[in-house]
Amino acid sequence: MGAMTKRTARAEPLSRERIVRTAVELLDTAGARKLTFRALTERLATGPGAIYWHVANKDELLAAATDTVVADAVSVEPGAGDSPREAIRSVALGLYEATEAHPWLAAQLAEQFARRPWGSVAPRVFEALGRQVRALGVPESGWFTATSALMHYVFGVAGQNAANTDMAADLPEGETRTEFLEAASRAWEALDPEAYAFTRAVAGQLRDHDDRQQFLAGVDLVLAGIEASVPGAASA
């Protein structure tokens, strides 16, 4: 039975694409710390030498896995009637949903942008957002700043979502996210009314907020600021 299983696993020729796809699966189930070449060789039923032929080391593997997921996330084709604003929202939402589906992704995005901006990930995200920023009519002098603002907002929320996911996994047995937010909301409502008047006022919104809708509302706020920089926008 073991031999039959191995033959089945090796039925698909070993390629860089297959190695990276398997790495993504391992990252999703076990996280970055447990992604090792040994784990890959077991999953792919091959030897480490065959993997090293396609991928030099773990850093290259993580970069390739990140790029594969990001490429899928930003490949949303705008509809024929979509405005640049709608296209930006689609790309942003694609990245947001990717970080929800792949808990390791937010940390790797930060890693790739901070340490390897010359790699494939940073240009891919910048291109997907920047083309639409340009299409909004933003002056060329503002392209980099506007695109960076969008990107930092998306990645900031992605990082917070990753932290929320980790937090949810550590909740006491039986406690739900709704119950956690309810407790947090009550704690805000109990704060000193003079020192924390605003925080008390929005405590109910903390309890009832929808993460996805809040994210898109934030994208719209950033876009409103970007669009205000377009010549003639104030009089439009």
Is 193 in contact with 200 (CB distance < 8 Å)?
A: yes
From CA 64, how far away is CA 66, in angstroms rounded? 5
From CA 54, how far away is CA 56, in angstroms rounded? 7
- Contacts of 63 by beta carbon, 8 Å cutoff, 6+ apart: 112, 116, 119, 120, 121
- Contacts of 52 by beta carbon, 8 Å cutoff, 6+ apart: 37
Per-residue pLDDT at 5 exceeds 50: no
Predicted pLDDT of residue 78: 63
* Span 110-137, pLDDT tens digits: 888 888 888 899 999 999 999 999 999 9
Q: Which residue has the higher pLDDT, 109 or 172?
A: 109
* Span 144-156, pLDDT tens digits: 999 999 999 998 9
Share of the chain above pLDDT 70, in %: 90
Per-residue pLDDT at 180 exceeds 70: yes
Per-residue pLDDT at 8 exceeds 60: no
The token pair at 26 is: 């391992």
Q: Which domains does the chain have, with CATH numbers?
A: 1-55 (1.10.10.60), 79-228 (1.10.357.10)
Rg (CA), the chain: 22
Number of Cβ within 10 Å of residue 92's Cβ equals 27
pTM for this structure? 0.83
Predicted pLDDT of residue 179: 85
Q: What confidence category does residue 47 fall into, taking pLDDT thresholds of 50, 70 and 90? A: confident
Predicted pLDDT of residue 188: 95
Q: Read out DSSP for 175-196?
A: --HHHHHHHHHHHHHTS-TTTT
Predicted pLDDT of residue 151: 92
The token pair at 209 is: 């907020």
Predicted pLDDT of residue 227: 94
Positive/negative CA dihedral, 17, 21, 26, 27: positive
Predicted pLDDT of residue 11: 55
13 phi, psi to nearest 5 deg: -55, 140
